[in-house]
Amino acid sequence: MGKTLGELAAFLGGELRGPADLVVRGLAPVDQATPEDLTFIAHPRFARLGETTRAGAVIVSPQWAALDKPLIVVEHPYLAYARVAALFARARPGWTGISDQAHLGAEVKLGRDVAIAPLVFLGEGVCLGDRVTLMPGCYIGPEAIIGDDTYLAPNVTIHERCRVGARVVIHSGAVIGTDGFGFIPTPEGQLKIPQLGTVVIEDEAEIGANVTIDRGALGETRVGRGVKIDNLVQVAHNVELGEHTVIAAQAGIAGSTKIGKWVGLGGQVGLVGHIKVGDRTQIGAQAGVTNSVPPDQVLLGTPAWPLKETHRIWASWHTLPELYRRVRKMEQQLADLTATLERKSET
């Protein structure tokens, strides 16, 4: 598993400053690396640790190229780290062939080299592309379609007729295509609105553990190409997520909301239903968004306002008790002044 510094510098298109034949066997944080590890400095915060790191070699930007260590100098060390990590990563656990402890429904269509682990259930008419991997405990509902090279971690549920693209990763415990939440109160109780739609997950999306994505009431809930969703996120029925949007853990998006491309939602963010969020907008952690947002905004707070304004508001709360004191003091002063003036008038 070792790589020479020469190989790595070539792979990264970086400048080698050190012995090309030095071998590193792993990748480690700057403060934990051993002489057998490669490390990297991607943030000024960690720069001074570079001087004391025990790492065998360091990936740095030109800014820190003076470091007295074997170096690979690149423009973007964090990006280089991601690329080297992919070299050192082991393959995800898989399976070979189709386990006879899996259940395959009638008329399933299987691509080439699919991997179906034990304890997997495929409903009738499921269609799997080439090299799909289904880990133990996965359930794929009738007529669901899964694209080439897609990987489902253990205990994933994909409901009937949902469509998952190619090169998608879905993590454990995620539930795709469960009923949307629609009820109408009637004198007899909550009347269920049957959820007739589906979920479509486009190519290269990645869905976190224990995420829930509801099927459309009518039509589709859609997760765009390359979207990345962290754990425990709720995506309600008929939501649309534009390409390359990123959603942090525990965020929730209510029904029919449309989110643009390259949007970022922070952890625990909540969006009401039936709004639109423009491309590239960033929404900070725990924000509550109740209105549509244009492109290229940065919002924070509940209710969500532009970042600067929310910071101003938060700062102002901090001194609110003092403001009350100042107002009270002025009221007294005013009363005194008024009384003084009245006395003067009377005299």
| Residue 179 lies near a second copy (rule: CB under 8 A) | yes
Site string for a second copy, 57-76 (x = CB under 8 A): --------------------
Quick one: which segment of 1-9, 10-18, 51-59, 113-121 binds a second copy (CB under 8 A)?
Answer: 113-121
Nearest Cα residue to 271 out of 238, 246, 304, 248: 304
* Chain Cα centroid distance, residue 328: 48
Chosen residue from 267, 278, 295, 306 binding a second copy by CB under 8 A: 267
CB of 99 to a second copy, least distance (A): 8
Q: Using the minimum distance from each CB to a second copy, give the nearer residue, 68 or 321.
A: 321
Is the distance from CB of 55 to CB of 69 less than 8 angstroms? Answer: yes
Q: Which two tokens stand for residue 226?
A: 């390359």
| Residue 44 lies near a second copy (rule: CB under 8 A) | no
Which of the residues 43, 76, 159, 237 is marked catalytic? Answer: 237
Quick one: which segment of 4-12, 13-21, 51-59, 248-256 binds a second copy (CB under 8 A)?
Answer: 248-256
* Chain Cα centroid distance, residue 322: 40
Measured distance CA(32)–CA(17) in Å, rounded: 22
Is the distance from CB of 147 to CB of 130 less than 8 angstroms? Answer: no
Chosen residue from 164, 243, 260, 265 binding a second copy by CB under 8 A: 243
Is the distance from CB of 255 to CB of 239 less than 8 angstroms? Answer: yes
| Residue 318 lies near a second copy (rule: CB under 8 A) | yes
CB of 75 to a second copy, least distance (A): 13
Question: At 205, which amino acid appears?
Answer: A
Q: Using the minimum distance from each CB to a second copy, give the nearer residue, 15 or 314.
A: 314
Quick one: which segment of 17-25, 56-64, 67-75, 228-236 binds a second copy (CB under 8 A)?
Answer: 228-236
Beta-sheet strand order (sheet of 276-277): 109-110, 127-128, 145-146, 163-164, 198-201, 220-223, 240-241, 258-259, 276-277
| Residue 291 lies near a second copy (rule: CB under 8 A) | no
- Beta strand 23-24 with 3-4 is antiparallel
Site string for a second copy, 180-219 (x = CB under 8 A): -xxxxxx--xxxxxx-x-------x-x-xxx-x-x--xxx
Site for a second copy, residues 13 to 32, rule: CB under 8 A: 27-29, 32
Measured distance CA(300)–CA(104) in Å, rounded: 48
Q: Respond yes or no: is residue 237 known to be catalytic.
A: yes
CB of 73 to a second copy, least distance (A): 19
Q: Which two tokens stand for residue 266?
A: 């922070």
| Residue 11 lies near a second copy (rule: CB under 8 A) | no
Is the distance from CB of 110 to CB of 131 less than 8 angstroms? Answer: no
| Residue 236 lies near a second copy (rule: CB under 8 A) | yes
Catalytic residue positions, numbered: 237
